[in-house]
Amino acid sequence: MESDPIIVCRCEEVTLQELHETAKSYQCSSRELKLRTRAGMGYCGGRTCRNLIDMIVNEVTGKSPGHSIPLGYQPPVRPVTFGLLGGHK
Amino acid sequence: MTGRIEHHPILGSLENRKQILFHFDGKTYTACESETIAAALLANGVRTLRVHEEKGTPRGIYCNIGHCFECRVTVNGVKGIRACLTLVEEGMNVESGVQLPVPFKEGGHQK
């Protein structure tokens, strides 16, 4: 695993092993796992790995996703430039 | 070697499409008109479109539908353009993403 890691969050390059270990040692929620590892905080806005993070937490701690502190959905729904928001182009 | 499917059992033969030239990291490549940047580079054997900003590991096409932003490149000076959705144009200047310095990482990292 060390030589060929499985990357879960490609934007922040967080491995499955890292997420597993963090979830195991802190028995934390998806949100806490995200804040501890930065998985899901990258350029794509967590749109690619959000479900995987929820699944890892569910697998390790038994907590199902959709509990009181879920991973948030915030605007903008996809990365946009400030220029675009300001009406350019 | 173009890497393109020239004879498809259902779609038929690839008609002679207009060839256009574009630049990627200073090198000039040939593309077919109405191809995306990602497709044109893949056909030219270029699979690494950028490297991870912090770790420097290679990145290329991942979802290829504009969802994951893994293939983002700089097109004519505009950053964060998705190569998988953007059609290649004559004389287009495409630059790959590079590794950036991380001067504040040390000390903040938990090990």
Digit-coded pLDDT (tens) for B49-103: 999 998 899 999 999 999 899 999 999 999 999 999 999 999 999 999 989 888 7
Range of the domain at B58: 17-95
Q: Do B62 and A81 touch (CB under 8 A)?
A: no
- Chain A residues with CB under 8 Å of B58 CB are none
Give a yes or no: residue B29 inside a domain: yes
Report if residue B51 sits inside a domain.
yes
Place of tokens 């590794």: B99
SS3 B86: coil
Dist. CA A56–CA A36, nearest whole Å: 14
- C-beta atoms of B67 and A13 within 8 A: no
Complex prediction ipTM: 0.76
Residue B110 lies in a domain: no
Structure tokens at B2: 């173009």
Distance from CA of B70 to the nearest CA of A (A): 7
- Most distant CA pair in chain B: distance in Å? 59
> In Å, how far is A82's CA from the nearest CA of chain B?
12
Residue B10 lies in a domain: no
How many domains does one find in chain B? 1
> What is the distance between the alpha carbons of residues B32 and B54, in angstroms, rounded to a whole number?
34
Contact between chains at B70 and A10 (C-beta distance less than 8 A): yes
Which residues 34-73 in chain A show a CB within 8 A of chain B? 43-44, 47-48
Give the integer Cα–Cα distance in Å for B34 and B24: 17
Host H or E run for residue A26: helix A16-26
Residue B69 domain-assigned?
yes
pLDDT, tens only, A49-89: 988 998 999 899 887 766 556 677 778 878 888 888 888 76
pTM of the model: 0.81
Closest approach of chain B CAs to the CA of A39, in angstroms? 14
Amino acid A68 reads S
Answer yes or no: do A79 and B80 touch at CB < 8 A.
Answer: yes
**Is residue B85 situated within a structural domain?**
yes
Planar angle of CA B35, B14, B44, nearest 5 degrees: 45
CATH number at residue B70: 3.10.20.440
Q: Where are the domains of chain A?
A: 7-85
Question: Is residue B68 in a domain?
Answer: yes
